[in-house]
Amino acid sequence: MKTTLYLARHGQTQWNKVGRFQGQLDSKLTQIGQQQSEQLALKLANQKIDLIVSSTLGRAVDSALICQQVLNRPIEQWSKLMERDLGLWQGQYITGIKVDQHYDEILHQFTALTPPTGESAVSCGARIYQALTTLAKNHLNKSLLVIFHGEALRCLLATLGNNSTGNAYELFDNGCLLQLSYLHSDESFQQIT
């Protein structure tokens, strides 16, 4: 028995476009972001998606609503799928934050170091892992589209042992899609390539 999870990053936002960290703040989808969300749904149109699950942040919810128009599936919102809390870096321009001596460790590595007043990559990864495990256990043998965030996705994959040295913006385009299976027999995730 397994649960299939299609993990997606929301469509492009106004702050993505101008290089500002959102974290748990929000900005609206751009027209390109709306198109990316529609394309995401079209990629899954031939799959049997049972449920769309999104982070509670507006950009993920808006992407989910666009997908719902194509896939005609119900939506659930989960606060545990919110983006990593980037603390005082939220709302700041990336170019201004890059000068911080810990920038690379915080956003390119998988460590317990936090941005000022923020959440570590390790904590974020554990939070997303637990949320997806709960979702999978609640939806045995179902297929779910899960729309959330790039940095949270990077932290999750590092939790699963897929470390990289890039940051989320380099690794995951807006509207990207990855597939995971949750294997109920051994309670583990398997990435489908």
User: What domains are defined for the chain?
Assistant: 2-138+151-192 (3.40.50.1240)
117 Rama sector, left if φ>0, alpha if ψ -120 to 50, beta otherwise: left
Tell me the pLDDT of the chain averaged across its residues.
96
Of 40 and 162, more confident: 40
The answer to whether 111 is annotated as binding is: no
176 has a pLDDT exceeding 80 = yes
Q: What's the average model confidence in pLDDT over 18-27?
A: 96
Q: Record the pTM.
A: 0.96
Q: Is the dihedral of CA 120, 102, 12, 151 positive or negative?
A: negative
Polymer length of the chain: 193
Cα(157)–Cα(192) distance, integer angstroms: 12
CA dist 2 and 23 (Å) reads: 31
Phi/psi for 5 (5° steps) reads: -120, 115
Q: Is 10 annotated as a binding residue?
A: yes
Q: How confident is the model at residue 193 (pLDDT cuts 50, 70, 90)?
A: confident
Q: Is 11 annotated as a binding residue?
A: yes
Name the catalytic one among 76, 83, 102, 184.
83
Catalytic pick among 10, 119, 149, 151: 10
Q: Region 57-67: what's the mean pLDDT?
A: 98
Q: Give the pLDDT band of residue 120 (cuts 50, 70, 90).
A: very high
Contact, 72 vs 64, CB < 8 A?
Answer: no
Tell me whether residue 9 is annotated as binding. yes
**Quick check: is 10 catalytic?**
yes
Residue 108 is a catalytic residue:
no
